[in-house]
Amino acid sequence: MKTKVAIIGSGNIGTDLMMKVMRLSDTLEMAALIGVDPDSDGLSRARRMGVATSAEGIAGLVALPAFKDIEIVFDATSAAAHKEHDRILRQHGKRVVDLTPAAIGPYTIPPVNGLANLKSSNVNMVTCGGQATIPIVAAISRVAKVHYAEIVASIASKSAGPGTRANIDEFTETTARAIEVVGGAARGKAIIVLNPAEPPVIMRDTVYCLCAPAETSAIESSIQAMVSEVQTYVPGYRLKQAVQFERIGDNDRLFIPDMDEAFAGLKVSVFLEVEGAAHYLPSYAGNLDIMTSAALRTAERIVQA
């Protein structure tokens, strides 16, 4: 018997996640999609597919007859709204997979620490940029100590809905912290760019790591292995070009303003591209695809734990 789940948030992320649950999961069953706009495309689509809906937010979810049988709730709203959602869902004993940057529960990146938090009542999926880049930072950390890691996530403006735009500050803060806690960097920094180009551009991510001297072949092999693991649930995840290395000597140290110190060692630059599976939005929205795919994998692991 499949585990019944609900999704709060009928925007881009919530709707894409609903499509993935219904098309891909052998262990999860869509029980409800919740929003606040009765005319949203997500709620309309859910109703056509026979999924219970409510436009009354969290109160509407709790009032649904199906609520008692729901075991896992995905929150695809905003960091601010999630705090109240988490409080109410805890009272009802529901497990929560948080797709906002609220970071109430432990950061969870499937190929890095995906098995560590399966008993938590709330797990946090960090951000789309975090899901794309933290695996790379972690892969480098397996080989060499990472003193500083900086990531730049560039996404198409059309793939960023109101929830994403409302969470820009939380995106940078949560991603930077997760780069440290999960990725293993001593200091992390995150930047997001909403690109208005037409036609819309595919998601691109750049990872810069300043680390201790190490064998470049070992680092490259670790990165390649990590990319292959992410591709098991995000097929459109790939290296855009070969990993780049630059050795920085003691006589030409690189000053890091965020750490107020000069660095000597190895600079690793990794350039990624994330193409979406187009379950809901076009393939350029890889930022949605990697986030919802990571949440789906995490929920399925929770069920199987």
Domain residue extents for the chain: 3-126+288-304, 128-282
Cα dist. 180→106, 146, 275 in Å? 13, 9, 26
**Stretch 38-48: mean pLDDT:** 97
**209 noted as active-site residue:** no
- CATH 3.30.70.2660 at 3-126+288-304, yes or no: no
For residue 163, pLDDT beyond 80: no
- List pLDDT tens digits, range 105-126: 999 999 999 999 999 999 999 9
pTM of the model: 0.96
Model confidence pLDDT, tens digit, residues 83-97: 999 999 999 999 999
pLDDT in tens, 48-83: 999 999 999 999 999 999 999 999 999 999 999 999
pLDDT digits (tens, 9 = 90+) for 210-232: 999 999 999 999 999 999 999 99
Q: Looking at the domain that runs over 128-282, which CATH code has it been given? A: 3.30.360.10
pLDDT above 90: residue 167: no
- Structural contact between residues 12 and 285, judged by C-beta atoms closer than 8 angstroms: yes
Please pick, among 33, 34, 123, 128, the residue that the annotation labels catalytic: 128
Residue 221 burial by Cβ neighbours in a 10 Å radius (0-12, 13-18, 19+): middle
Residue 258 has pLDDT above 90, yes or no: no
Which pLDDT does position 32 carry in this prediction? 98
